[in-house]
Structure 1
Amino acid sequence: MSVNDSAGVRIRLMRDDEAASVGRLVRQAYAGDYELSEDYLAEIEAVADRARDHEVWVAEDAASGALLGTVTTPRPGERLSAVARDGDELDFRFLGVAAAARGRGVGERLVHHVTALAADRGLRRVVLNTGRQMIAAQRLYERLGFERLLEREFTFERPDGTSILIWAYGRDVDADAGRAAHAA
């Protein structure tokens, strides 16, 4: 599955030989914007490990092939995290955009891809978790119609004893979203 759009961005599944590059891209995207532990940054960068069980999507420049961003979704019938309810929701994680590609709408295109994927799979909602400090991501999600799901939020205890509130967001999927995204 590959999606093209008028901005020259193509979204497709990551190739195995791109795992290290995609790992660096997403780690740099997170490390450049957020104060995160080395353990979590290593998890973010572990793209090859994730790709064994899940789908790692990349946004690439259609003309040059340069990697612009990435997002991870579960395979059909699976889920990535406890935020998703079995059977009718698709969750996604590790959305990251290269610093040089920011302002091109790459993050928005990746989220639209996820909602189109959910529609194609006959799912009714897309959900995700984010942290309080991830303000730019929250603005993107809210602009795209996601709303907080307070009842699904939880506190994560770090190994150092501190805790962080993990926010949940969700958005219902338009049944025509899949067809519209593939037509673009």
Structure 2
Amino acid sequence: MHDFDGAIATAAGCRIRAAARHEATPIASIRMAAYSQYRKSVQPAVFEAYLDDLRHVEKPGDGTQLLVAEWQGRVVGSVVFYPDAGLEGLGLPKGWAGFRKLAVHPDARGRGLGRRLARHCVERAHELGALTLGIHSSSFMTAACKLYHRMGFIRCPEHDLRATAILGLAPVEDDVALIAFRMNLRGR
């Protein structure tokens, strides 16, 4: 089912594959479009710093994989997979797998593409022998939190963070909590 140098998964018109180098600009645009809906949910300084982080499109290294979802020949989603979540620098334990920056362009939503990207990361973590997959989200990202719960992720508040801390900003009164989730992969 998986060929990590080419097509990774194809189902119902969606293809999950490794991103090509020339796709950094479309990936950044997808992230901006996907996360712009949260502008009013977050203090402006925090939101702008978060957008700056999203604009930075990762280059594969240290085993990370930048993946895209293609729908009808167009890149409409992406996610960064970490075989070792400790490499993310977000306080998840070394040895856990992880993913972040999952984004689907608003005009491509409703087709299960976000779930497919997340499911791919779960499958990849399992294939690599990880016993746990850890992620962060935020409570105002209600659709994402519901998706993760439906997929079997559970909260692990001991790994929660504050947005200002990871973005290098001074703490603010209405700081954003980045809430941690984990999925036990043992026995899958």
Coarse TM-score class (shorter-chain normalised): 0.7 to 0.9
1:38 to 48, 73, 84: 48
- In structure 2, relative to structure 1, the CA distance for the partners of 1:77 and 1:109 (3 Å cut) is closer
Sort the Cα spacing of 1:30 and 1:20 in 2 relative to 1 into closer, same or farther, 3 A: same
Could you list the structure 1 runs, at least 4 aligned residues long, displaced by more than 4 angstroms after superposition.
75-78
1:96 and 1:107 in contact (8 A); partners too: yes
> Partner residue of 1:24?
29
SS of residue paired to 1:127: strand
- Please state how far the C-alpha of 1:55 moved relative to its aligned partner: 1.8
Q: Does 1:169 align with 2:181?
A: yes
Structural RMSD (CA): 2.1
Identify the residue that residue 126 of structure 1 maps to in structure 2.
133
Name the structure 1 match of 2:102.
95
Q: 1:13 to 1:78 in 2, by over 3 A?
A: farther
- The aligned counterpart of 1:65 is 73
Counterpart of 2:149, as a letter, is E
Q: After the TM superposition, which of the residue ranges 30-39 and 104-113 deviates more from structure 2? A: 30-39
The percent identity for this pair of structures is 27
Q: Which amino acid aligns with 1:82?
A: L
In structure 2, the CA distance between the partners of 1:68 and 1:174, relative to structure 1 (3 Å rule), is farther
Q: 1:100 to 1:92 in 2, by over 3 A?
A: same
**1:107-165 per-position Cα deviation (integer Å, ceiling 9, x unaligned):** 00001100011011110111101112111110110011111001211334363541222
- Indicate the residue corresponding to 1:152 in structure 2: 159
TM-score by length of 2: 0.82
Give the distance between the partners of 1:114 and 1:55, measured in 2 at CA: 10
Scaled by the length of structure 1, the TM-score of the pair is: 0.83
Q: Secondary structure at the match of 1:51?
A: coil
Distance 1:56 1:122 in 2: 19
5+ residue gaps, structure 1: 177-184
